[in-house]
Amino acid sequence: MPENRVPREDVHISVRQDLLPPWTVVLHNDDYNTMSYVVTCLLNTVRVLSEQRATEIMYEAHTQGRARVVTCPLEVAEFYRDRLESLVLTATIERE
């Protein structure tokens, strides 16, 4: 093996999340789910949200038609969107 090559098991690869392009999860208003249900879904899906913040997001979506839920790397945003959609909420992701 050439001297300038490092064996694979000695290589440590680290990906910093702050270097990944940000994506935003957007919650859209609907006329089917109750406000308390939406808040509960947000809290159970995006665990970093406080109850107050989840309520603010729900209310913004209700009054403005849409609300930003969280900004994160693409794979996490896709997970949140899919989870919210599985709970019969309308959510999309957008490039920040």
**Residue written as tokens 């403005």?**
64
CATH of the domain at 62: 3.30.1390.10
- Its domain, for residue 51, covers 21-95
Q: Which helix (H) or strand (E) holds 77?
A: helix 74-86
Amino acid letter, residue 88:
V
Which is nearest to 90 in space by CA: 23, 50, 33? 33
Strand 22-28 and strand 66-73: the pairing is: antiparallel
Domain count, the chain: 1
* Residue 60 belongs to a domain: yes
One-character DSSP codes across 18-71? GGSPEEEEEEE--SSS-HHHHHHHHHHHSTT--HHHHHHHHHHHHHHSEEEEEE
Over residues 36-90, the pLDDT tens digits come to: 999 999 999 999 999 999 999 999 999 999 999 999 999 999 999 999 999 999 9
* Residue 13 belongs to a domain: no
* Residue 28 belongs to a domain: yes
**pTM greater than the 0.85 cutoff:** no
